Amino acid sequence: MADIPAQKVLDLMTQAVFWKDLDLNYAGANSVLAKIAGFESPEAMVGKNDYDGPWTKEEAEWYRKCDQRVIDSGEAEMGIVETQLNADGKKTWLETNKVPVRKDGKIIGVAGWFEDITERKSRELKLALAEEKYRAIVETAHEWMWEIDLAGGFTYTSPRVKELFEIDPDELMGKTHNALSHSSDNIDDIYFLLAQSGEPFSGVRVEYKRADGRVMTIESCGVAIKEENKETEETTIVGLRCVSRDVTSQVEGERELKEKYALIAAQREAISRLSTPIMQVWDGVLCLPVVGLIDTARSAEMTDNLLQAVVDQRARCVIVDVTGIEVMDTSTADLFIKMAKAIRLLGAHPVLTGISPSIAQTMAHIGVDLTAITTLRTLKDGLEAYLSGALDSVVDYGHREMGS
């Protein structure tokens, strides 16, 4: 083994190796470097300098500058990252190490070795570019992006926090969400529980009270930050990463919309009551004045309300006045017939008043049978007939008609 020449050992290495004299001329190299530089053999490089290689002038000057610095300082320089144009025209990235060469304690030159880190550098550049793009997106995004540890302390926040809470991102580092809200609510607990769940979440809304008294609603989505133990392959939750946005205007709009819906519903109910006003005109006597057109929805609501009023007020007589109806077709007449039957089933006397001559003619023409309903000319006539007891015989007749 001791007889193996040093050159053969150097040629077995995967790294490029060289050494130079004090004039920075090559005194030796291995076959890896000779191939990169385009020389037939390491011996062919002896006496040459970096300007004789395929690398660019700028690269040659840089190599020589580093070599001279090592010789002058007498100290090694490790991990020099530099570029190199090879003989095959390929541009590569190198990580180079250089040390002074001494003989009898005196520096007589410089030696070095390097390896190709082009793939690693390419990954680093891509990663740096991706990080730069991500940072540009984060720093210009309308959303607020942030991270906290399990203690609730901020480990990162995008610049958007300054617009929302008037606090610099650097000033917020290590502080918690409670530092952003001037209220008694413990906001930190909310995010701690979200982190501990380990599950992604969205649409979580939290109110913050700013120093100026303004209450903001912040809506967040996020995921737990996890670290994996390579030995045990177990993951541990170490924090929370979130994207948040100010939805205060949206919440206020939703609140206003709900108030408007409530107002519309109240108005609709009021209109409904006005369109089917059920009045108690005498003890035990209800009156329903019907005005305008009657569609399916209104007829159902009218019947329901009237029958409920009969039960609630224990009415003995119900006068339905149709003076306000200009047109009555078969379906409308059928409504009143069914309404009258329902009223009778509840134990009250149905009376229909206010039929106009034109409606009477139309009903007679289409053959509507109102014999099961007591009909009188006016509301006054209906009330007087009830008070005088004149309805009793008519009601008995109506019962017989319905039963026949």
* Confidence (pLDDT) at 3: 56
pLDDT digits (tens, 9 = 90+) for 160-197: 888 888 889 899 999 999 988 887 788 888 998 988 88
Amino acid present at 194: L
In terms of CATH architecture, what is 141-250? 2-Layer Sandwich (3.30)
The model carries a pTM of: 0.43
Angstrom CA distances, 396 to 154, 310, 338, 374, 377, stand at: 86, 20, 18, 11, 20
Q: Which residue has the higher pLDDT, 12 or 310?
A: 310
Rounded CA-CA distance 30/83 in Å is 20
Residue 86 CA: distances (Å) to CA of 21, 83, 94, 205, 268:
23, 10, 11, 59, 85
Residue 79 CA to residue 95 CA, distance in Å, equals 5
> In residues, how long is the chain?
404
Domain locations in the chain as residue ranges: 6-117, 141-250, 276-403
3-state secondary structure of 234: strand
Stated as kind and residue range, the H or E segment containing 303 is helix 296-313
pLDDT at 20 over 70: yes
Superfamily of domain 276-403: STAS domain (3.30.750.24)
Give the residue, 334 or 309, on which the prediction is more confident.
309
**pLDDT digit string, tens, across residues 322-337:** 888 877 777 878 888 8
Q: What is the predicted pLDDT for the residue at 404?
A: 35
Same CATH fold assignment for domains 141-250 and 276-403: no
Residue 10: the pLDDT is: 85
CATH code of the domain occupying 6-117:
3.30.450.20
Please compute the mean of the pLDDT values over residues 272-280 and round it to a whole number.
Answer: 71
More confident residue, 402 or 253: 253
Query: Is pLDDT above 80 for 342?
Result: yes
The percentage of residues in the chain with a pLDDT greater than 70, rounded to a whole number, is: 91
The pLDDT value given to residue 390 = 73
List, for residues 228-245, the tens digit of each pLDDT value.
Answer: 887 887 889 999 999 999
Q: What are the angstrom distances between the C-alpha of 318 and each of 14, 16, 375?
A: 109, 111, 12
pLDDT beyond 80 at 275: no
Residue 34 predicted with pLDDT over 90: yes
Find all residues with CB under 8 Å of 250, minimum gap 6, and list them. 217
pLDDT of residue 402: 36
pLDDT given for residue 40 in this prediction: 93
Local confidence band at 139 (pLDDT 50, 70, 90 cut-offs): low
